[in-house]
Amino acid sequence: MRGNLLITVACVAGLAAIAASARAAERVTLRNGFVMDCDHHTRAESRVRLYMTAGEDNYIEFASQEIAGVEPLPDPPPATTETHPAAPPSPGSSAHLNPADLAEMLAKAGREHNLDVDLLASLVKAESAGNARAVSRAGARGLMQLMPGTAANLGVEDSFMPDQNVRGGSTYLDTLLTRYHDNLAMALAAYNAGPAAVDKYHGIPPYHETRAYVARVIHEFNRRVLARETQAHHAVASIAASPVHAAR
């Protein structure tokens, strides 16, 4: 599986903080090339504080020489990816898959695209909550919420067919991860808002819905990975403590 997805705890925390505010008003570029958004900033002697919300409590502080520039951001467009619970059923499709069948589909797609199955499961949960007939207000469809044009480009004939949707969505995510050099936050932002928006802002767009989406998927992915590692640790400990193993 991809082992170099560029995600840090600080990055996720920043996304969550910004998502909690109504909008990010400023974009700050650091001299190391990193770009981040904040509500507002203040300067005090040789320090600059970037406030994540409208209040004064939640901020990140940098030395003035670390800041390359600050620019205002436009108001984000209204969110358009809220899903409706039902759509006309397709022959052979089911709104609620058997968890085992879905897990098998995700595992197969993960193997084909070198993607962690828990990442795919986290994306499915955020996109459709496992509803194979989910449709967003923008027209995205199925488990991984593919837009009709994107689905057609990926060779998906029916987005309400779970196996086709998972195959197409996994291919699309793989393409985005390659495009953004395995930067998971950027790839997820492009999955939600489109690559054009990510390229326009040279990073995660200043859209409340997109930032909340990225934070939500990464949080769920981290939760699943931690649970998996904990389960594996307990399994190893159980084997080590078994009488047969101890007698050797």
Long-range contact set of residues 225-232: C-beta below 8 Å, sequence gap at least 24: 225/116, 225/118, 228/118
Residue 15 is encoded by which pair of tokens?
């996304």
The closest of 212, 114, 100, 93 to 170, measured between CA atoms, is 114
The closest of 23, 20, 1 to 12, measured between CA atoms, is 20
Q: How far apart are CA 149 and CA 164, in angstroms?
A: 15
127 is catalytic: yes
> Which H/E stretch holds residue 44?
strand 40-44
* DSSP bridge pairs for 131: 96
Residue 36 is encoded by which pair of tokens?
């981040």
Residue 135 is encoded by which pair of tokens?
């449709």
Residue 145 contacts residue 160 (beta carbons within 8 Å): no
Q: Which of 66, 82, 127, 209 is catalytic?
A: 127
Question: Which residues are tagged catalytic?
Answer: 127
